[in-house]
Every structure is written in structure tokens, then in C-alpha cells.
Structure 1
């Protein structure tokens, strides 16, 4: 059992990418991060790793600083050797399936300082929510400033440890690929939802954001429904989303739309080295 690492995306073997694609549900985040790397985002300091056993790839991980280490659905027995191999790497935290993340924290030698608990949902049959009025449209170039501001506000609420000082390239890239949906009411944007261009027929919804003063009016439900339909129209037959387990409102909203729980994930922050 051996881990291999590279900072060159072109050196990431096809077999490792194929291992991620074999389960696009549980490996949804690594797959979308690799897509972003291919589009030129987050390359500075990036590291890609893969596990080989008996000549076959059995796992993959990614690290795009300053974001946490990102685990695919790797074998549990590979976690100690991964932690040992990355012992000298500066990690702010670890993100991935709950069982693997907790196993990594248990052996990495650095205590947990905080965590965000997520639940992965998968769409079964999309249900149309009651409309509060208004209509959806794709965000365009003129919406870039608004999308950057709302993305920053979303991250400040949902994941305050994630960097939010340079969201412009990410937002421009997603708007350019038609991945942001706005809900407008009275001619004014009132909510935003994103979706990722399908990979192997899989798309993930996110972010979903309504400004605080416009909440509890149904905008979050309708913009999520609109983004889900946009993902399906883009070719997704498998649509996923993450919810924050600390937010029961969003969990109930997504279940009412037809999303059903798959498994739990976590982002765990690690104490800095002394």
C-alpha cells in the first residue's frame, strides 16, 4: 500500500481519475475540484495524491491550499499511511466522508479545533415548491459583482474558515459556464443557487443563498428547484447537494424538493503546529 503525490495535474494518472468516477456520488467534491483545476483555478500549491495497492489505484486525495485536505471515499485502512505521508504538510484541516475524516484526525497528531457537519443528499423525484412570485434566469456577466458579494456572505455563514478574499476568478468561471441561477422578484435578484456542469452525469447544487432580509419567503426553495432543473437540462441524471446539519430549515426544504439523505461528511479544522 503506497501513496504517491504530485503537484502537476498532468501527472495525475487516468486510473486515479477513473477511481473517483467509479462513485461520483461519494466522490462528488474531488471530481468537481479536479474540473476546476483543469480550468486553471486553485493550482498554486495544489497537491494530488493516489493510493496504489497491488498495482491498482484504490484511492485519491487533493489539497488546494488554503482549503483543507480533501479526501475521496478512500479505504479506512489507508488513512494511517496517508497521515504519516502528509505529516510535514501544512494542513488547515480535512474535509470528506465523516468516517474517513475522523479516522485521519485520530492519527494525524493534531487536535481538532472545530468542525462543520454536512449531510449529502441525492435527488429522487424533483417536486415543485409553491412559488412566492418571480422567475428564474441564468446569471450573466453583469451579475458578477452581486454574485461575488453573495458568495462571500454565503461562505461567511456556511464555512467561515474558507478563504473569501478572492472569489472573483471562481465566480467569473462559473458564470462563464452558465452555472449560477438567480431568482428575481419585482425585477430584482432575491436569491442565488449554483450547480456544477455535469461530470459522468453527476451535478451538485451549491451554493444556495438568500440575503437575511429576504428569507422565509420561499425564495430558497424556488431558486434551488430552478438550479436543479438547470442541472438536469445540462445533462445531469444524478443531482446532489450538501446541507449543514446545524441548519434544520435547509434540510427540511431540500427534502420537500425530493432530495434524500445519502451519508454524512465533515470539515474538521486542525490546530496549527506550535
Structure 2
């Protein structure tokens, strides 16, 4: 067996982490998920997987139920063995996600058919540009007492974006609140009108997201303002690579992020199984 599985992030060998860090932009989700695992955000029925042969790492993946399998940039030749060995363990997987070719290759080798997918585009910041029509208001850090509102808006975001897996996001939101990874954009009266996430830099890489503005506050540039403020905060914290994901089918968000100086890198797919 060349794929190794564990439920404890502490068992992940250092060389597997270094494999991810060779391309922090493309492995942004795995790196931030592993950081959250170490912070104790997820503890139940975890899966961490890595391919090792002759002392060399070939690929890394993980699962934090109820979400699907998260794939790194795994060579196509290693995907069939990963699927086969996971099938042998009888581990249930609601889906799989990662770089588009990798996710599609895994789905083609899984025993259950594809039931649907969300395609997202990874963007990387080139040069940050000030919004052409700045929204009124200011950025501020949320207070601990605002956890319920942040959680409610996170649930709304997941439902609208198609990423609602039925799980409770409160532990993740609470952990990000503690690590100062969430910001509000608020009006002059102090009312939050949009929020954005900004991960702490890992090997100089920080990811913006989610970005969410409730329907009643849309059309005033608040989401753009929150994204700009979160990006500036990432830069202030030392990030040299700043990335974000957007739904390929949403022309508005793609236009907004490009107007701020983000450039497309590659596409990712989040595939669910029947």
C-alpha cells in the first residue's frame, strides 16, 4: 500500500507538509484546513491521506466530515489507487473537490456516480487596486458576542453558494473569530452590512473568503469594500501571495475581484456523488 491514512493530523509527516508548501497557492485549501485541524476545529472521524513511495511524497488529501474528500495537486497516475484503497476501507464520501482535472479523475474512479458539481475559479492578487466607487463605512474586527450573527451569515452564504453540507459551522466560525480571521464592513451607524474571511498567512499565502453580503444590503459596493479591506489586512500581516475562489457561473463576483487586481489562476471542482 502506497497511500497512508490516519485520523490524527499530528501523524502527517513533515515531508508531506513540505510537498504542499512547494505550491502554497494551489494547495491553499489543504494548508488552511490542516491549520484548523491543529487548532482542534475538527476532531470527529477525520481522514488525512498521503502517498509515499521510496521516501518520496506523491500527493496529499484529507476529509473533514460531513464534507467530501479534499484533494491536493495529485498526479493523475495516483488517483486510481487512492480511490481503490478508500473503497477498500468502506469510507463513505459524499463528494470530492480539488483542482478540476484531479477532482474529475477521482470522480471517474469512484464507485458512485457524479450527482452534481460546483466549478470555482482560483484567483491570485496581482496588484491591489482601490475600488472605483468606494462604499461608505469602515472595516472593523467582530466582537465575540457577534458570533451568532457571523454564524448565521455563514450558513446563508453556504446555502446560496451550494456548499451547505448540513453541518454546524459554529466551531469553524468561532475558531476564525478567535484567530482574527473575520472582518465586518459596517456603515456609519455601526451596522454590519458585509463580512469577509482572511486566513492567517501560511508560507506567505493568505486566502480571502468567504465574502458575504445579505440580499438587503447588496448593490452598494459593500462586498467589494469588505474584499478590499480583507486583502489589505492580509498584506499588512505579511502575505506575499493572496488568493480567493469565486463561482465560475457568477459574472458579478468575477468582475469585482478582477477590478481589485485579482487574476485567474486555474479552476477547481467540488463534485457530489449520488
Q: Normalized against structure 2, the TM-score is what?
A: 0.96
Q: Would you say 1:233 and 2:236 are equivalent positions?
A: yes
CA-to-aligned-CA distance 1:231-261 (integer Å, 9 cap, x gap): 1111111100000112110000000000000
CA-to-aligned-CA distance 1:55-96 (integer Å, 9 cap, x gap): 211210101111010000111100000010111210000010
Q: Is the 8 A contact 1:182 1:191 kept in 2?
A: yes
Taking the aligned partners of 2:129 and 2:31, their CA distance within structure 1 comes to 27
Q: Is the 8 A contact 1:152 1:167 kept in 2?
A: yes
Aligned-partner SS, 1:86: helix
Listed as ranges, the gaps of 5+ residues in structure 2 are none
1:95–1:248: structure 2 CA closer, same or farther, 3 Å change rule?
A: same
Q: Is the 8 A contact 1:181 1:227 kept in 2?
A: yes
1:1-274 matches, cutoff 5 A: 2-87=2-87, 88-129=90-131, 130-164=133-167, 166-187=168-189, 188-271=191-274
Listed as ranges, the gaps of 5+ residues in structure 1 are none
Taking the aligned partners of 2:196 and 2:257, their CA distance within structure 1 comes to 13
Deviation, 1:109, is 2.1
Aligned-partner SS, 2:119: strand
Deviation, 1:105, is 0.8
Aligned-partner SS, 1:60: strand
CA-to-aligned-CA distance 1:190-219 (integer Å, 9 cap, x gap): 000111011001000001000001111111
- CA RMSD across the alignment: 1.1
Aligned-partner SS, 2:18: helix
